[in-house]
Amino acid sequence: MSLSSALSIAQSALLATSKQTSVVSRNVADASNPDYSRRIAVVTSTAPGARSVEIQRAANDLLFRQNLSALSAWSGQSALYSGMDQLQLSVNGVDNASSPSTAIANLQQALQLYATTPSNQNLGTSVIDAAKQVVSSLNSGTQAIQDFRTQTDGQIATAVSDLNSLLSQFQDANKAVITGTRSGTDVSDALDQRDALLKKIGEYVPVSTFTRGDNDMVITTKDGTTLFETVPRSVTFTASAGYTAGTPGNKIYIDNVPLSGTSDNTTADGKLAGLLKLRDGVATTMQSQLDEIARGLVTAFAETSSSQPNAAGLFTWSGAPAIPAAGTLVNGLAGTIKINAAFDPSAGGNPSLLRDGGANGAAYVANTTGGASYSDLLIGYGNKLDQPMAFDTSAGITVTSGVSDYAANAIGWFEGVRQQASTNADAKQALAQRTAEALSNDTGVNVDQEMSLMLDLEHTYQASARMMKTVSDMLDALLSAVGP
Amino acid sequence: MSLYGMMRTGVSGMNAQANRLSAVADNIANSDTTGYKRSSAEFSTLVMPGTGGAYNSGGVTTTIRSAISSQGVLQYTTSVSDLAVNGDGFFVVQDASGTPYLTRAGSFVPDAQGRLVNAAGYQLMAYSYANGTPAATANGFEGLVPVQISDQAMTATPSTQGSFTGNLPAGATPPSGALPSSNSATAEYTSKSSLVAYDNLGNKVLVDVYFTNTGPGTWEVAAFDQSKATPGTSFPYTGGSLGTANLTFDTTTGKLTGSTTGLTFTVPNGSPLNLDLSKLTQLGTGFTVTDAKVNGNAPSTIDKIQIGQDGVIYAQYADGSTKALYKIPLADVQSPDNLTAMPGNVYVQSADSGAVHIGFANEGRLGSIVSGALENSNVDIAEELTNMIAAQRSYTANSKVFQTGSDLMDVLVNLKR
């Protein structure tokens, strides 16, 4: 060992320490960045006199994967839950005030009142008004559901285009990682960026990944469809211009494979699956229930005759005067149901037809004597609303119950689904937060640790600088010996 | 036994110390020259014949030794084309007229023609990969060419090999529709994946791979060119399938049995690609892809160069892939310290050094090539300064001998008045 090499070694020690310090500084600067993984500067001594600093990146693959899948589940669930909230408000109103169930209860009350005093024309008119409320509730509910589906369709289109752009950003990040890995440069920043993008992609679809040589990452969806391999696969979706009841929505294709979700109504993995479930699951079922309520009303208020087939009475529809087939869903009926003009005073009709019957002709007149206090028919209508009838199984709730009970059950069903979705959302949020916390504890920056490391580095630097000073003093002594 | 002899001895001593001082001066001047090896003056006696009673003073002769085999301290730099040898060996360089030399000064930079030239203007020589992996010519400089980076054109490699590892769901039931191999519009499949392959021109070709369950433990694999798919439904593909294979799995172990373990098809406008499926399993879980690889690369231009420890110069293309261009050899002689130094930190073989033999880094006693580092001179200033002080003192002492001789001559001459 010579003084020159001592000088040279001290110099490389200074270089190594300053590199380590810059790593500490970077760690502290990004301490609050959730996508940042701690860097560790490892000093290795290689050839004589040379020391090199290698930068390692703290990573925990297992925790990262858990976090990724938890994020995906949370994102899907929160999309589902917030969509349900919106649907609840727009269809049933605050505290279900504008729900068909409330309107039908009001109609029942008005009917009972009219039945006690059948001669009072004003009470008849108020029954018609209550019936109009029921119709308007059903019509606006249908409109709200279909608007909601159209809107969700738009959200899906936006989400798909976001996902495509994320995938193309991922390609750039992945390329940077590969290039860096092949040339042996520090790829920590590119890896951070790639992981951050992966988290964002995971919010849209649940993903699983594997890495090939040179750190090249391949993304597939949880069910094995390729999402990214060297180049991003196309995610395609065609938004529909508008929806009517019973219109099926378009599918989302990833690499030409349709995206599938779970059959369960209350859980969703990934935002795309959550939106699909809202559009095709919950909203469609709600629409079917409204249609069934409408069909139940048309059937309950049908006029009967001993010689003629039953004909649509107070509530009528596009297929009138026939009655919709029993126990079979008619798509969109809730949107087209209306008050029979023959009963509606504002359209020149006569509310007392409700008491007497005969809106469809003389064969249907029940009050044959023309008595002003005839209430049998009115009481009969009231009873029919509570009489069990058959409903289509596809609407998802009880197949046999009265119309008013059915409307109440529909609300109960939706509240149940919403409740379940909310519970799931809470659970998944908790999981996502816990895994993010665990990941951050494992790979994030601990400022205390960095500070103590910084003190160590300061001392090393001072020692190296002192070393140089000492060598320089020694050479000075030698040089002064050479002098005259 | 003469005063003249003694004066001549003093002069020879002064000359020797002057030589020593010259070597020290050279060392100090080149103490920061990359690849410089320190010189030192070694002395030996010249003895004059004499008898027991009469001593004839002789003299001292100087031999200059160069510490060529001693390693200098490596200093890291930021340029990948800065090279250092860690261990024995020399780079082979040539001057403008094509004469080969040996050197350890590796501060190479590309010149206008893309040749790597060091600070003294010598071009780095290496074996080219143009005709396959090169072998060193052990006893001469034949086959060495100047390293020239700029003339490397763009290259593309078509895909020829691939592998697909994963699991096919054991619980799958055969779809009711036609198989994908029929390429019918109503074809149905169990699972699908896709892979990027490269054609002869390096274009990316997306290959759709369909896995279809055809019965307990039997699967059909069919590959299609995704660009030929019918929009929306995928099937039918224009031009039909690229290739199909039928796989049989052992229903007890879930492993692939039977003779078919891969799928061979020709990439459109490309080469035959052999997709190895031997690691596929059929277990009771969903369709999972755990690894998928296809070789080949797209054309791209050279982004930068990299030099490995074994001396291979790789061109790194813009897409990150690398290709070996040259392999830098190391030359060595039996006695490196006896090489003749020439201007510009280069050495040529001399009668004493032994013949030059050439090999590659890390072979035998040859050292490794370190990229991004330079070898400092092996001069130690402190040693040189102490040498200088010692030389100064010796010179003064020799001059005193001469002066004493001169004074005595004076006395002698003045004996006769």
Residue pLDDT tens, chain B, 417 long:
588 888 999 999 999 999 999 999 999 999 889 999 999 999 999 988 887 788 888 899 999 999 998 888 888 788 888 999 988 999 999 999 999 999 999 999 988 888 899 999 999 999 998 888 888 887 888 889 998 887 556 677 889 999 999 899 988 889 888 888 888 888 889 888 989 999 988 888 999 999 999 988 899 999 999 888 888 778 888 888 899 999 999 888 888 888 888 899 999 888 999 999 988 899 888 888 888 888 887 777 777 788 888 889 888 777 666 778 899 999 999 999 999 999 988 999 999 888 999 999 888 889 989 888 888 888 888 888 889 989 999 999 999 999 999 999 999 899 987
ipTM of the complex as predicted: 0.74
Q: From chain B, pick out residues whose CB is under 8 angstroms from the CB of A3.
A: 380-382
Q: From chain B, pick out residues whose CB is under 8 angstroms from the CB of A220.
A: 193, 288-289
The reply to whether A194 touches chain B by the CB within 8 Å rule is no
Instruction: Identify which of B226, B229, B245 has the alpha carbon closest to the alpha carbon of residue B237.
Output: B229
> Are B189 and B173 contacting, i.e. CB atoms less than 8 angstroms apart?
no
Look up residue B251 and give its DSSP letter.
T
Task: Give the tokens for residue B136.
Answer: 């060193």
Smallest Cβ–Cβ distance between A47 and the set B287, B370, B389 belongs to B370
Question: 3-state DSSP call for residue B41?
Answer: strand
Q: What angle do CA A453, A455, A460 make, to 5 degrees?
A: 95
A positions 9-68 inside 8 Å of B (CB): 9, 11-12, 15, 46-50, 52
Alpha-carbon distances, residue B192 vs A175, A256, B212 (angstroms): 25, 9, 9
Say if the Cβ atoms of A50 and B373 lie within 8 Å. yes
pLDDT at residue A12, rounded to an integer = 82
The reply to whether A224 touches chain B by the CB within 8 Å rule is yes
Ranges of H-type helices in A53-120: 61-92, 100-116
Q: How far is B230 from chain A (nearest CA, A)?
A: 10
Nearest CA in chain B to A220: B289
Say if the Cβ atoms of B382 and A2 lie within 8 Å. yes
The reply to whether A8 touches chain B by the CB within 8 Å rule is yes
> Are B107 and B34 contacting, i.e. CB atoms less than 8 angstroms apart?
yes
Please list, in sequence order, all residues whose beta carbon lies within 8 angstroms of the beta carbon of residue B239, skipping any fewer than 6 positions away. Answer: B225, B228
The reply to whether A233 touches chain B by the CB within 8 Å rule is yes
Alpha carbons A331 and B303: distance in angstroms, whole number: 63
Q: From chain A, pick out residues whose CB is under 8 angstroms from the CB of B396.
A: none
**Which helix (DSSP H) or strand (DSSP E) does residue B347 occupy?**
strand B346-348
The reply to whether A175 touches chain B by the CB within 8 Å rule is yes
Instruction: Identify which of B284, B267, B283 has the alpha carbon closest to the alpha carbon of residue B275.
Output: B267
> What's the pLDDT tens digit per position in A383-424?
888 888 888 888 888 778 888 889 888 888 888 989 999 999
pLDDT at residue A65 greater than cutoff 60: yes
Q: How many helices (H) and strands (E) does chain B have?
A: 2, 31
A235, A478, A480: best to mutate for the B interface, most B CBs within 10 A? A478
Alpha carbons B120 and B91: distance in angstroms, whole number: 13
Smallest Cβ–Cβ distance between B75 and the set A8, A220, A224 belongs to A8
> Are B159 and B198 contacting, i.e. CB atoms less than 8 angstroms apart?
yes
